[in-house]
């Protein structure tokens, strides 16, 4: 089996309905579906019961939050890859999974593009390939837009000491361990931005903690000083170039490259971009 889809939910029946409809509409069928409900009292359990024939496993019982629920789902997964599609989130179109799995995948993490869905707007997001440290330091990949090798997550799941951005911590660990990343030019999902991990302060504080605990301290300190000027590496380069001239720009640009080469062993044989046959990058407006 190629894919295990894990859907977690707690008192979000309306969102769960959208997610169930999205998965049911997929043309790709080589998946198992695992639903973990946190003991909802809003009718979610009844909705799960009405669709239980579609699930390889489901439960409705108290848990210790988002990542505890996902870890529980991971323990029941038997597919080659795991896709986490939380209640309220949706695959972008009915052929999303079909396009992702149109060719064999071998990387540890496969990722694509996504839309953030706010109450009043939708915002397109994309991460480049190759993923290098200077990019990954400042940005996270939406985990709903990722397909992660099941064995990697079963070997070590999400650290529950991070209540909001444990996914970022796990990707950072895998990055440091030399995991392979593979980008597909497919819009994967519409990510519901009303969830807890989208609510700023707690997530930002945990990101700072992750940087202290996972990244070597001297590198984290250097990146933090650079980040005082701008949140994006490209902006850092431009700002320094304007203020201090081309020599310092050259130095900073190559310093970050050196960090990647020396400490993270990122090369084009392991981190690569892939475009499915006949595809071009998707940048169209989201379908209403």
* pLDDT, tens digit (0-9, with 9 covering 90-100), for 4-20: 999 999 999 999 999 99
* Average pLDDT, integer, range 108-116: 95
In DSSP notation, 133-175 reads HHHHHH----GGGEEEEHHHHHHS---TT-SS-HHHHHHHHHH
The reported pLDDT for the residue numbered 242 is 45
Asked whether residue 33 carries a pLDDT value surpassing 70, the answer given is yes
Both tokens of 22, joined, read: 């999205």
Q: At 186, list the tokens.
A: 């497919």
Q: What is the pTM of this model?
A: 0.78
Q: Domain residues of the chain, as ranges?
A: 3-202+268-274, 218-264
pLDDT at 139: 79
- The DSSP secondary structure of 233-247, one letter per residue, reads HHHHHHHHHHHH-HH
More confident residue, 267 or 180: 180
pLDDT of 262? 57
pLDDT-derived band at 163, boundaries 50, 70, 90: confident
Question: Under CATH, domain 3-202+268-274 is a member of which superfamily?
Answer: Spore Coat Polysaccharide Biosynthesis Protein SpsA; Chain A (3.90.550.10)
């Amino acid at each position: 089996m190629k894919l295990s889809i894990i859907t977690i939910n707690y008192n979000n029946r309306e969102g769960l309905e959208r997610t169930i409809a999205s998965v049911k509409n997929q043309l790709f069928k080589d998946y198992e579906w695992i639903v973990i409900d946190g003991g909802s009292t809003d009718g979610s359990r009844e909705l799960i019961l009405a669709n239980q024939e579609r699930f390889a496993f489901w439960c409705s019982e108290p848990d210790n939050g988002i990542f505890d629920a996902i870890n529980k789902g991971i323990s029941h997964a038997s597919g080659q890859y795991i896709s986490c599609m939380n209640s309220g989130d949706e695959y972008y179109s009915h052929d999303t999974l079909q396009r992702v799995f149109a060719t064999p995948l071998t990387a540890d993490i496969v990722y694509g593009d996504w839309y953030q869905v706010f109450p009043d707007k939708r915002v397109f997001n994309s991460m480049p390939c190759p993923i290098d440290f200077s990019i990954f330091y400042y940005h996270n990949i939406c985990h709903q837009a990722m397909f992660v090798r099941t064995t990697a997550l079963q070997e070590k799941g999400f650290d529950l000491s991070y209540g909001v951005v444990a996914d970022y911590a796990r990707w950072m660990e895998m990055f440091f361990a030399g995991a392979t990343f593979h980008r597909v030019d497919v819009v994967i999902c519409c990510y519901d931005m009303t969830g807890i991990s989208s609510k700023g302060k707690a997530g930002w504080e945990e990101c700072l903690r992750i940087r202290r605990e996972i990244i070597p301290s001297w590198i984290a300190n250097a990146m933090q000083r650079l980040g005082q000027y701008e949140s994006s590496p490209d902006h850092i380069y431009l700002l320094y170039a304007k203020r201090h001239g081309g020599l310092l720009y050259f130095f900073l640009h190559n310093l970050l490259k050196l960090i990647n080469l020396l400490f993270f062993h990122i090369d084009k044989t392991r981190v690569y971009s892939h475009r499915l046959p006949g595809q071009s990058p998707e940048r169209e407006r989201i379908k209403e």
